[in-house]
Amino acid sequence: MVFALLAVVHCRGGSGEISGTVLDEKKMPVIGAVISVSSAGIVRAQTATDYDGIFVVSPLPAGSDYELKVTYKGYVTQIVKNIIVRDGSATKVHIHLAPDLHEFKEVVITTYKAPLIEIGHPHNIMDAGIRHTGITNTADLVSVASPGVHVRHGESEAFGGRVSTTTFIIDGVEDHATAAPAEKHGGRLTSGEVNDFSKWKLWKDLSKGELSMYSNIWSMLPRHRYTVLLKSKDNTPLCNARVLLRDKATDCVLWAAVTDNTGKAELWDRIFTDSNKDHRIYAELRYRGERYKIRNLRPFSKRINVLNLPFPCDAPKGLDVAFIVDATGSMQDEINYLKEELYDVINKVKDSLHEHEVRLGAVFYRDHGDDYLTKVSALDNNIKTTVDFIKDNNAGGGGDGPEAVDDALDVALNRLEWNKDALARIAFLILDAPPHDQAEVVTRVHDLVYEYAKRGIRLVPVVCSGSDKSNEYLMRSLALATNGTFIFLTDHSGIGGHHTEASTDKYDVSFVNELIFRTICQFAYSTPCDQVMMQIADTLKMSNEPARDSLVKLAKDTVKKDTSKYVHMKFYPNPTDRILYTEYENVKGNIYVSDISGKLILKTEADKGGKMEIDMFDFPSGIYFIKYEDEKGVWLSGKFILLR
């Protein structure tokens, strides 16, 4: 569905813009949708939607007919034609994307089969080997002829062009126009995420049960958690405040952290020891030369510790993102695909996060005794520098399992020159093997993790094929300790070796480029100081009842459906300045509220009367989600805005 209207804005003389929103079938923003604007068959500009699904293409010469194309993996491509751009005006185009059920089923739900053709390897594929693909014509034949591939089918044959060419040979005749090799743009590797902050009780159960043996190997147990939330006098989050967890008896610093884009800092007691001794603790806060104390500090299981400081709203624009990549031989099966995914992420960041001052960097590492130990590309606002560095590095060496992860973490921490005033500092640790487990290495990892947390650099491990449960436990612990999240590749893509599924109750499968980009957006979102946010419907609803077309089908099949047990919930007003009113049916147990990064921040038991008020007084302005898990374990979620 497409809606277009004109609104006057201030644009440069002789030009205008095309802007608007992209929403999915649930009217939720689509993040990272690719927007292409063309005229006369030539692409004039490209961008991507931001966290709110908003895009702006500007400036565009006035007086031309434009075509706008919206693409997003798993959804039907939308094309809007005959768009007029007028001088000094903005043409608004609002897109509703519909799921591509065929692609969704093949890519996300069912288990992938290995690709017919592996890119970069010479192949000869005969008729019997590809008959199951349904190829019946020359165009389809060419579509499977990747660079370096010879395909024979019946009386026809095709040779894919070399990587550097666009030439195809069909039945002995060169063809430059019929087809060209597909562009490398990511969206091939599949992945899942476990944000243990959003499943805190489950993590505590796992760390004491299924994964408990690994806490002894790595001498690391993130369990004793304290959360501090800082708000400005304008009720907006305060980021980059330093928060120290101190022992009252000795005044020693037990942990140090920095408040994130939501104003929260995660503090840990006894994370590197199995001691059962409770510390008498308090929190010390340092912000703009002033110091404050929270003496009656309560653990997360009791509450979030909230403090208002007498400072105005501050929304930093800096964004530092680094990729720390295992480049040993065991990564050979996936590293080229991963590089494609990273190129796509980098382009999305460049095109979508215009309001941020983005710097990107990378560290590639191997192991002791290899050709090199680490290679570094410093954080830089020249995006091309990082892209070229990633292109120039490949996998090799290694081979003994554990690698020099500690050296890579050290180099990334101390040589990338992180911006201490940035809104977000994120390091994606992409690997398939843990560090060595000698005592001195484990101690060094502890020291490095503490420094990452102290400097507010969030570690986000991305675990690849060949990893084991021990490495999973360590990586999830690193993510918790540094306020990050945990990403793992899955077998759904059919690429690479076997991927170990994470220990969790359930997870969604996403393309890894989209998941990494979404993580960056979540960690880099900030509440505008002027609090100008996109207005959404005053009253929103959520339900687990099947869609109307499903009910119609059931009726046609003469299957009786009892709808009395479906969950129905509505919540209002939206935005709210404090109280969120809820009305519901068939809701039992707890209703939760999470922040934009997925952390659960509030839990309240549903009142039996079918109505309840959720008081958001303690929390700063921003985007939040109300969540409920039904009896079948399906989570329902609705977005609302708090404007204080």
pLDDT for 493 beyond 70:
yes
The residue whose two tokens read 């309560």 is 298
Q: Quick one: pLDDT band at residue 193, thresholds 50, 70, 90?
A: very high
Q: Which fold has domain 316-524?
A: Rossmann fold (3.40.50)
Does 166 have pLDDT greater than 90?
no
DSSP state of 286: E
Residue 533, classed as helix, strand or coil, is coil
Amino acid at position 307, single letter = L
Mean pLDDT of the chain: 81
Compute the distance between CA of residue 82 and CA of residue 60 in angstroms, rounded to an integer. Answer: 14
| Encoded tokens for 273 | 């020891």
Bridge partners of residue 306, in order along the sequence: 229
**Cβ–Cβ under 8 Å, residues 197 and 274:** no
**CATH code of domain 2-102:** 2.60.40.1120
CA atoms of 398 and 385, how far apart (whole Å): 26
Q: How far apart are CA 181 and CA 145, in angstroms?
A: 8
pLDDT value for 501: 92
Cis peptide before 573 (omega within 30 of 0): yes
588: left (phi over 0), alpha (psi -120 to 50) or beta: beta
Q: Report how far residue 125's alpha carbon sits from residue 138's, in angstroms, rounded to the nearest whole number.
A: 15
Please name the amino acid found at residue 339. K
Residue 626 near residue 638, CB atoms below 8 Å: yes
Terminal CA-CA length for the chain: 34
Tens of pLDDT, residue by residue over 430-468, are 999 999 999 999 999 999 999 999 999 999 999 999 999
Contact 92, 55 (CB under 8 A): no
Kindly provide the b/e burial profile for residues 188-219, where b requires at least 16 CB atoms within 10 angstroms of the residue's own CB: bbbbbbbbbbbbbeebeebbeeebeebbeebb
Residue identified by tokens 């990587």 is 163
Q: How is residue 330 annotated by DSSP?
A: G
What is the residue-wise DSSP string for 18-77? EEEEEE-TTSPBPTT-EEEEEETTEEEEEEE--TTSEEEEEEEETT-EEEEEEE-TTB--
Residue 102 has what pLDDT? 54
Cβ–Cβ under 8 Å, residues 45 and 59: no
Q: Which of 356-370, 494-508, 545-559 has the lowest mean pLDDT?
A: 545-559
Look at residue 138 and tell me whether its pLDDT is greater than 70: no
Scan for tokens 């796992």, then name that residue: 206
pLDDT at residue 534 is higher than 50: no
d(CA 196, CA 204): 9
pLDDT tens digits for range 458-468: 999 999 999 99
Give the DSSP letter string of 169-204: EETTEEESSS--PPP-----SEEEEE-TTTTHHHHH
- CA distance readout (Å), 557 to 129, 550, 552, 566: 40, 11, 9, 20
pLDDT for residue 121 is more than 60: no
| CATH (one of 1.10.3810.10, 2.60.40.3080, 1.20.1270.360, 1.10.645.10) for 540-642 | 2.60.40.3080
| CA gap 393, 405 in Å, rounded | 17
CA separation for the pair 296, 343 (Å, rounded): 47
Q: How far is CA 72 from CA 37, 111, 120, in A?
A: 15, 21, 26
Q: pLDDT digit string (tens) for 7-30?
A: 333 333 478 889 999 998 878 888
Q: Is 342 left (phi over 0), alpha (psi -120 to 50) or beta?
A: alpha
What are the residues facing 68 on neighbouring strands?
Answer: 37, 80
Q: Is the pLDDT of residue 198 over 50?
A: yes
Confidence of residue 275 (pLDDT cuts 50, 70, 90): low
* Residues recorded for the chain: 644
User: DSSP code of 457?
Assistant: P
pLDDT at residue 88 in the model: 81
Q: Given the structure tokens 């952390």, which residue do they identify?
A: 599
The SS3 assignment for 378 reads strand
Amino acid 222: pLDDT: 95
Q: Is 518 exposed, middle or buried (0-12, 13-18, 19+ CB in 10 A)?
A: middle
Position 637 confidence tier, pLDDT thresholds 50, 70, 90: confident
Report the predicted TM-score, pTM, of the whole model to 2 decimal places.
0.72
Per CATH, the homologous superfamily of domain 200-308 is Carboxypeptidase-like, regulatory domain (2.60.40.1120)
Tokens of 230: 């800082």
Q: Give the Cα separation of 394 and 385 in Å (integer).
A: 16
User: Domain coordinates of the chain in residue numbers?
Assistant: 2-102, 111-175, 200-308, 316-524, 540-642
419, 426, 429: which is closest to 357 by C-alpha? Answer: 419
Strands 424-431 and 318-326: parallel
Q: Which two tokens stand for residue 574?
A: 């939206």
C-alpha to C-alpha distance for 358 and 523, rounded to whole angstroms = 13
Of 58-67, 155-164, 386-395, 559-568, the one with minimum mean pLDDT is 155-164
Task: Please report, rounded to a whole number, the percentage of residues in the chain having pLDDT higher than 90.
Answer: 52
Distance CA 610, CA 416 (A): 54
Bridging pattern class, strands 15-23 and 89-96? parallel
- Quick check: do 200-308 and 316-524 share a fold? no
Neighbours of 103 (CB within 10 A): 13
Pairing of β 65-71 and β 78-84: antiparallel
What's the one-letter identity of residue 463?
A: V
